[in-house]
Chain A
Amino acid sequence: MSNASLTTGAEAHEAQFGDYFELLKPRVMRLVVFTALVGIATAPVSVHPVIAFAGLVCIAVGAGAAGALNMWWDQDIDAVMRRTTGRPIPSGRVAGDEALAIGVTLSVFAVVMLALFANFLSAAILAFTIFFYAVIYSMWLKRATPQNIVIGGAAGSFPPMIGWAVATGGISVESVMMFLVIFLWTPPHFWALALFRNDDYVEAGLPMLPVTSGERVTRNQILAYTMLVVPVSIALGVSGVGGPLYLAGAVVLGLVFLHGAWRLWRREEAAAAADSYRAEKQFFAFSIVYLTLIFGLLLAEAILAAFGLAPAGWPKLI
């Protein structure tokens, strides 16, 4: 290859390391790492910090790889939606084929290394998570059904189960409940976003619930899923990973979250449009705070227990 060919064409906008890193959806990765960390920390088996760290790196890379595969597959709709036009592929910084290669390579790498670092069960769940997000959600459900984010939400719900499996090598009722909290939280979170970003989804032709069934149905469903996630979160308080601090926090946070969902349910489309979906944006923002604090409180309980500060005789009803 001549020197001239190296400096022409696509290389005019050479992709930088940060562009490739952006393919891994670092913001999503943060939540994945945090919930996986809580899964490891709350497990009844202590795990060496180096193994825990190595496991978290693998989970983060695996989640990032799934994000890269999602960006490769969705490059056509990402180019249409305002929220996603700045992503590395639609903005022309990274080629689609490169994203595919990075996604596949890092997926295999993360799963194999997690199997070697921790155990086969955690690696198997990570592999299933990547497959579920990239194939079941991105390639199939997202463009096919308004229930896309309900079923697809499972992919984002697995990290605490993977973390728990890294520590224990197994699955238990506590890890399944942590999965359920994220799984039931996902629909209200994304549908609130879909309410005030409806135009984006219409333009991209995605069958999000507000697009296919209207705002009224979406508001009903937001309330219904919020009414499900709150009791599950509270029930975790009397499980093996709960405690008084968590229980009190989960009740207060649950009431605030329910109040927000109730407010959305009472609003009509005209009122929401009149104030530019203020309540919907607030509910969306609080949903992030809610999940972060729920898992933060679980982590706090694990830290208290590690220092022998957890109250003896706390009921473990689940």
Chain B
Amino acid sequence: MRPVTHELHVRRRSRNLGLGISLGAFVLLVFMVTIVKLDAGHAIRGVQLQEPAAAVAED
């Protein structure tokens, strides 16, 4: 049976914890900036949805 924790995990505990917190904080920051930008009326760049009218015309 595999041990629940390995000695390696103990040694790298601070490193993993720090990295986890940093990544969590980054995700939160991106989320907050996204909310602020959408709230300010910024368009979502990079996603070009087809206009409904054009889609109908192609049909």
User: What sequence of 0s and 1s flags, for each residue 1-31 of chain A, a beta carbon within 8 Å of any chain B beta carbon?
Assistant: 0010011000100111110110000000000
Which residue of B8, B17, B19 has the most chain A CB atoms within 10 A of its CB atom?
B8
- With an 8 A cutoff between CB atoms, is A117 at the interface? yes
- With an 8 A cutoff between CB atoms, is A251 at the interface? no
- With an 8 A cutoff between CB atoms, is A136 at the interface? no
- Interface SS of chain B: helix, strand, loop or mixed? helix
Residue of A nearest to B17 (CB): A17
A-B contact list, 16 entries, CB within 8 Å: A3-B6, A7-B7, A15-B15, A16-B14, A16-B15, A17-B15, A17-B18, A17-B19, A20-B15, A21-B18, A51-B33, A51-B37, A53-B29, A54-B29, A57-B29, A117-B33
Residue of A14, A51, A54 touching B15 (CB-CB under 8 A): A14
The size class of the interface chain B forms with chain A is: 10 to 19
From residue 137 to 193 of chain A, which have CB atoms closer than 8 A to chain B?
none
The size class of the interface chain A forms with chain B is: 10 to 19
- With an 8 A cutoff between CB atoms, is B54 at the interface? no
Q: What's the least CB distance linking B8 to chain A, in Å? A: 5
Q: What's the least CB distance linking B24 to chain A, in Å? A: 14
Residue of B nearest to A54 (CB): B33
In the complex, A117 Cα to B36 Cα: how many Å?
10
Instruction: List chain B positions with a Cβ less than 8 A from chain A.
Output: 6-8, 11-12, 14-15, 17-19, 29, 32-33, 35-37, 40
- Interface SS of chain A: helix, strand, loop or mixed? helix
Residues of B within 8 A of A51 (CB): 33, 36-37
**Given A20-B18, A54-B29, 12 other A-B contacts at CB below 8 A?**
A6-B8, A7-B7, A14-B11, A16-B15, A17-B14, A17-B19, A18-B14, A21-B18, A48-B40, A50-B32, A51-B33, A54-B33
Instruction: List chain A positions with a Cβ less than 8 A from chain B.
Output: 3, 6-7, 11, 14-18, 20-21, 48, 50-51, 53-54, 57, 117
Pair B7/A14 contact, Cβ less than 8 Å: no
Q: What's the least CB distance linking B21 to chain A, in Å? A: 9
What 3 A-B pairs are tightest by C-beta distance, nearest first? A17-B18, A16-B14, A50-B36
Contacts A50-B36, A51-B36, A117-B33 hold; do A7 and B17 have CB atoms under 8 A apart? no
Pair A48/B36 contact, Cβ less than 8 Å: yes
Q: What's the least CB distance linking B26 to chain A, in Å? A: 9
Which residue of A18, A21, A117 has the most chain B CB atoms within 10 A of its CB atom?
A117
In the complex, A3 Cα to B3 Cα: how many Å?
12
Residues of A within 8 A of B12 (CB): 14
In the complex, A3 Cα to B32 Cα: how many Å?
42
In the complex, A51 Cα to B14 Cα: how many Å?
30
In the complex, A48 Cα to B14 Cα: how many Å?
34
Q: What's the least CB distance linking B43 to chain A, in Å? A: 14
Residues of B within 8 A of A20 (CB): 15, 18
Which residue of B6, B19, B35, B36 has the most chain A CB atoms within 10 A of its CB atom?
B36
Q: What's the least CB distance linking B48 to chain A, in Å? A: 18
Residues of A within 8 A of B6 (CB): 3
